[in-house]
Structure 1
Amino acid sequence: MAVTHQAQQASWRSTISAKQRRTIAGGAVGTLMEYFDYYLYGLASATVFPTVFFPNDNAVVGTLSSFASFAFGFLLRPVGGLIFGHIGDRLGRKTALMITVIGMGLSTAAIGLIPSTNAIGIAAPILLLVFRMCQGLFVGGEMGGAATLVVEHAPAGRRGLFGALLISGAGIANVASAGLMTLVGAGSHSFFIAWGWRIPFVFALVLAVVAIVLRSKLEESDEFKELAAARANKPQERKSPLKEVFRHPKNAILGILIGLPQSIAGYIILTFGLAYMVSKGTHAQVGFIGTMIVGVLQIFAAPLWGALSDKIGRRKTYIGGCIGFALLIYPAFVLYGTEVAILIWLGMIIGFVIPGVAMQGTLQTMLVEMFDVEARTTGVNIGYQISNTIGGGFAPLIATALAAAFGSVWPVIVYAAVICVIGIVATAYASFRPDVENAGRLHA
């Protein structure tokens, strides 16, 4: 077995160059930070912020206010997507990625340093919203640049695998955010509410330093270098990346619709799901540990889904994930209602790791393959960030409001199913660049 494992590692290293490994690491560390920031904020929104920043006699109102602040941070993600998409398509993917990772680290750490509402009054939730919007601005430019850079460095027939490795970074973020929250929450509740929850947020500065070091070694892809050389020879032919994206508006619009199902999957299953199970009497620690388990599985499941998309096609893999999510969300919440830890963890796995990671592991590569190189970062950011804003950003808030209004999770399940149908139809009608279509069965 040891020989076989060593042979597999040797095979991987022989087929992936050192430059490609650096690119994957540099891209994935930013995705790790992006998801670390947002998963961490989601966990805190469900368990801490209602008490610290939105104290209210009515627990539902406090949770709604907390999730509203969660949604608020998504409003600047499309703006960040356009700003850093333009930078990435004009000045280089690396330049955009260095700026975004610094901004994400500073914004997240700042959230951890805000005094409570009891200490400084209304200034506390206002500061929370300000730093949350700053966080959203920089996160908005992250995935487009990372996905474009990594997929452009991928060898033929392995774009799906390379793109999915970014979502392995998201899995590590799941483990890190939930693990730190579990660790600081293991002591007294008073310490956790007063100081403990702040430690993971400030830890984002450490991640930012690691990301800066890794990204300082990145190189632009050959495709971008060729584009830059052509622009240098014909500067009068420079075109706005945004105009280039909307020269073919079909894919820009479909990219947004395609991204909706994957955008809500994690935030309904893991974020709203945590608030739901806590409201039923389950200790938050159970949800934190479950999120860690999901993260570990996500690290390994994402590249498997990406490799599968290289074999059977992105469309089939993504549509399969949409169908799976629509079918498995109800069993997941049934298991949440048991208040039995191992069954709750099983619900998180079948509700997210199976369908959610299938969608997440496929989406970014699919979006990259929908746009030409001169507008690719902008195109990916438009599809990914707008779908995450109108879908994922408001998903916990919408789900909480629906469950409270109807006294049941059934409206949440119907809401998720409708979003999945939209994603399926959009994926079926999307078109891809000619060189991608001619490459084989990638989009069969």
Structure 2
Amino acid sequence: MKDTQPADRGAAPTTPAPAVVTGKDAGRVAFAAFVGTALEWYDYFLFGTAAAIVFNTLYFTTFDPATATLAAFATFGVGFAARPIGAVVFGWLGDRIGRRPALLVTVVLIGVSTGLIGLLPGYASIGIAAPLLLVLLRLLQGTAVGGEWGGAVTLAVEHAPPGLRGRYAALPQVGSPVGTLLSSGAFALVLLLPKDDFESWGWRVPFLLAFPMMLVALYIRRRVEESPLFDELLKQDERAKIPALEVFRSAWRPLLVAMASALLGVGGFYLLTTFVISYGADTLGLSRGLMVNATLVAAVVEVGVILVVGRISERLGPGRVTLWGGLASAACAFPVFWLIDTRSPVAIVFSIAVGIAVLSVAYAVSGALLTELFPARLRYSGVALAYNLAGALTGFLPAAATALLKVSGNASWPVALLLVGLSLLTALGGFLGERMRVKDPVATG
């Protein structure tokens, strides 16, 4: 299937010349994508963990405990609402100027905004300005992440040797569990502090670490070359004038399919981490340390799942893997919450690890599937829009799940049913996506 959309209205349809890709630099590029993505998710996940255990008491002190938690999760969801904006802005930059410069900007923006959260005074110090500034910084985080993931997987895939896209597209995905490990590990350490110390300054340390981590990621990314496919687009001037507009106009079918296939990896993950941490600590009366440590174990398992499934997808196809991953996650949803409800520490760690491992099957191949649903000239924008519109639709799920708890008298079955729905939609996206994949013209060299 060829890209036949002209760069400008009235131009003759052409196809980019085959780009020369080799295995020489593919691993280095994928590693750079992974490092930056790990930082992005570290910063982003910090907010989710903090929203579950500390922001409700520091920034929303005028509410009752349940409403304060809802407000904290709503602030968490604001970041998802901003992500489509980042997808449009950085998609334009990535499809018009280059994948590499877009990714340099995203890593700086999220590092700075996250570090500033660590310096933000609480409600007791500056009043209503505190939650307002928190929302603003979360918006900046969301905007940066909106352009990060789509660019990272696009760069990794477009450098990958023929037939090996699955494994290279999986490496940026490993950034998610590594980001979880780093953020949850940082919080697990500061939770060892006395409660007063943790609430006054300890929780800020993980956020402040974003500054030096940003510098490391920026150094690594500056050493990465531009995508060879984008270089070909530049030579032939085969770039879309307004990429996001062209995606909505001419690629809306693959956009919808890509969104569906990404729902579980985004929304399901936050149900089993951000929401479950709050559910275990606030509803079941379990220790916050236990719930955070359970996500640490799950993140280790997730790394292995992503790396293995990425290679499997090269043989089966990422769409088929997404289909089976979605169906498996739907089957596991109720057992996962039944085990959490036992309040047994062993059962809780096991259930969260299994739940995240199963939903990670579809997440592992999201990069490979989404990048092959859009032609190269619209790829950065198409992938970023699909993934982040899915994020915007599911980012408020922790808040929605918390509201369902209140309505159902703290019963977990509505939340499990929510996870089943996400899983089935993703399975449908995988089924349709496998039949809509776009093949790039590739020459070995």
Name the structure 2 match of 1:4. none
Deviation at 1:312, TM superposition (A): 1.4
CA distance in 1 between counterparts of 2:348 and 2:62 reads 28
CA distance in 1 between counterparts of 2:146 and 2:437 reads 24
**Residues 1:113 and 2:116 aligned together:** no
**Residues 1:270 and 2:270 aligned together:** no
Give secondary structure in 1 for the equivalent of 2:439.
helix
Name the structure 2 match of 1:11. none
Counterpart contact for 2:90–2:147, Cα < 8 Å = yes
Deviation at 1:238, TM superposition (A): 5.4
Give secondary structure in 2 for the equivalent of 1:290.
helix
CA distance in 2 between counterparts of 1:156 and 1:218 reads 20
**Residues 1:374 and 2:384 aligned together:** no
Counterpart contact for 1:39–1:174, Cα < 8 Å = yes
Name the structure 2 match of 1:425. 428
Deviation at 1:56, TM superposition (A): 4.8
Q: Aligned ranges for residues 26-41 of structure 1 at < 5 Å?
A: 26-41=32-47
Which segment drifts farther, 179-188 or 289-298? 289-298
Deviation at 1:228, TM superposition (A): 0.9
What are the Cα deviations for residues 78-130 of structure 1, in whole angstroms up to 9, with x where unaligned?
01001001100111100000000000000111111111111111111111001
**What letter is aligned with 1:352?**
I
CA distance in 2 between counterparts of 1:248 and 1:64 reads 36
CA distance in 1 between counterparts of 2:263 and 2:91 reads 20
Give secondary structure in 1 for the equivalent of 2:179.
helix
Name the structure 2 match of 1:226. 232
**What letter is aligned with 1:278?**
A
**What letter is aligned with 2:343?**
E
Which segment drifts farther, 92-101 or 333-342? 333-342
CA distance in 2 between counterparts of 1:167 and 1:121 reads 39
Deviation at 1:137, TM superposition (A): 0.8
CA distance in 2 between counterparts of 1:434 and 1:62 reads 46
Name the structure 1 match of 2:406. 404
Give secondary structure in 2 for the equivalent of 1:155.
coil
Counterpart contact for 2:298–2:354, Cα < 8 Å = no
Counterpart contact for 1:372–1:433, Cα < 8 Å = no
Deviation at 1:17, TM superposition (A): 4.2
CA distance change for structure 1 residues 222 and 436 in 2, over 3 Å: closer, same or farther?
closer
Give secondary structure in 1 for the equivalent of 2:124.
helix
CA distance change for structure 1 residues 166 and 327 in 2, over 3 Å: closer, same or farther?
same
Counterpart contact for 2:108–2:218, Cα < 8 Å = yes
**What letter is aligned with 1:394?**
F
CA distance change for structure 1 residues 436 and 42 in 2, over 3 Å: closer, same or farther?
same
Counterpart contact for 1:174–1:294, Cα < 8 Å = no
Deviation at 1:424, TM superposition (A): 2.2
Name the structure 2 match of 1:64. 70
CA distance in 1 between counterparts of 2:259 and 2:412 reads 26
Q: Larger relative contact order (C-alpha < 8 A, sep ≥ 6)?
A: 2
Deviation at 1:363, TM superposition (A): 0.8
Name the structure 1 match of 2:361. 358
CA distance change for structure 1 residues 347 and 437 in 2, over 3 Å: closer, same or farther?
farther
CA distance in 1 between counterparts of 2:288 and 2:124 reads 23
Tell me the number of residue pairs that the alignment of Structure 1 and Structure 2 aligns.
Answer: 418
CA distance in 2 between counterparts of 1:296 and 1:158 reads 24
CA distance in 1 between counterparts of 2:240 and 2:60 reads 49
Name the structure 2 match of 1:176. 182
Name the structure 2 match of 1:88. 94
Q: Aligned ranges for residues 252-271 of structure 1 at < 5 Å?
A: 252-271=255-274
Task: Pick one of 285, 290, 295 that aligns with 2:289.
Answer: 285
CA distance in 1 between counterparts of 2:441 and 2:272 reads 34
Counterpart contact for 1:88–1:94, Cα < 8 Å = yes
CA distance in 2 between counterparts of 1:229 and 1:249 reads 27
Name the structure 1 match of 2:13. none
Counterpart contact for 2:90–2:102, Cα < 8 Å = yes
Name the structure 2 match of 1:77. 83
Which segment drifts farther, 239-248 or 257-266? 239-248
CA distance in 2 between counterparts of 1:422 and 1:85 reads 25
Give secondary structure in 2 for the equivalent of 1:76.
helix
Cα RMSD of the aligned pairs, angstroms, is 1.9
What are the Cα deviations for residues 211-259 of structure 1, in whole angstroms up to 9, with x where unaligned?
101100111122111111111xx8xx85332243231321122222222
Name the structure 1 match of 2:150. 144
CA distance in 2 between counterparts of 1:313 and 1:98 reads 31
Counterpart contact for 2:240–2:378, Cα < 8 Å = no
Name the structure 1 match of 2:141. 135
Give secondary structure in 2 for the equivalent of 1:429.
helix
Name the structure 2 match of 1:331. 335
Give secondary structure in 2 for the equivalent of 1:384.
helix
Deviation at 1:406, TM superposition (A): 0.8
**Residues 1:244 and 2:250 aligned together:** no
Deviation at 1:419, TM superposition (A): 2.3
**What letter is aligned with 2:376?**
V
Which segment drifts farther, 88-97 or 307-316? 307-316
CA distance in 1 between counterparts of 2:64 and 2:328 reads 35
Name the structure 1 match of 2:316. 312
CA distance in 2 between counterparts of 1:46 and 1:141 reads 25
CA distance in 1 between counterparts of 2:430 and 2:359 reads 16
Provide structure 2 residue ranges, at least 5 long, that are not aligned to the other structure. Answer: 1-21
Give secondary structure in 1 for the equivalent of 2:342.
coil
What are the Cα deviations for residues 137-187 of structure 1, in whole angstroms up to 9, with x where unaligned?
111100111010001111122111111111212121111101110111102
CA distance change for structure 1 residues 190 and 238 in 2, over 3 Å: closer, same or farther?
closer
**Residues 1:159 and 2:161 aligned together:** no
CA distance in 2 between counterparts of 1:288 and 1:263 reads 18
Counterpart contact for 1:256–1:387, Cα < 8 Å = yes
**Residues 1:297 and 2:301 aligned together:** yes
Task: Pick one of 179, 191, 194 that aligns with 2:200.
Answer: 194
Name the structure 2 match of 1:44. 50
> What is the percentage of aligned positions where both structures have the same residue?
33
**What letter is aligned with 2:354?**
I
Which segment drifts farther, 393-402 or 31-40? 31-40
Provide structure 1 residue ranges, at least 5 long, that are not aligned to the other structure. Answer: 1-15, 439-444
TM normalised by structure 1 equals 0.90
**What letter is aligned with 2:73?**
F
